[in-house]
Homo-oligomer: A and B are copies of this chain.
Amino acid sequence: MPHINVSGPKINELDKKRALTRALTDAAAAAYDMPRETIVVIINENSPENVSVGGQLIVDRTN
C-alpha cells in the first residue's frame, strides 16, 4: 500500500497522466519490492493562482 501523491501544474493530455502514473508506480514497486497492484498514485493539479515560489504566485511570473 505505498501511496504516491504528485502535485504540480495541470496536465492536459491523458496520455501524459498514463505515462506519469505508470513510471511512478514502476519506481515505487522496485524500491519497495512490492507488487505493482499495491501502489496507488494520486495526481493533484494546482492552479497557477494557488502556488507560489519564493513568495511569487506562478500566475504573476513574467517569464
Binding site for B on A (CB under 8 A): 1-9, 11, 14, 16-28, 30-32, 34-46, 49-57, 59-60
Copy number of this protein in the oligomer? 6
Contact A52 B32 (CB under 8 A): no
The minimal Cβ–Cβ distance linking A57 to chain B, given in whole angstroms, is 6
Residue in B18, B32, B38, B60 whose CB lies within 8 Å of A11? B32
Shortest Cβ-Cβ A-B pairs, 6 listed: A2-B8, A23-B27, A21-B52, A20-B31, A25-B55, A37-B54
Minimal Cβ-Cβ distance residue in B for A11 = B31
**Interface of A (DSSP majority class):** mixed
Minimal Cβ-Cβ distance residue in B for A36 = B54
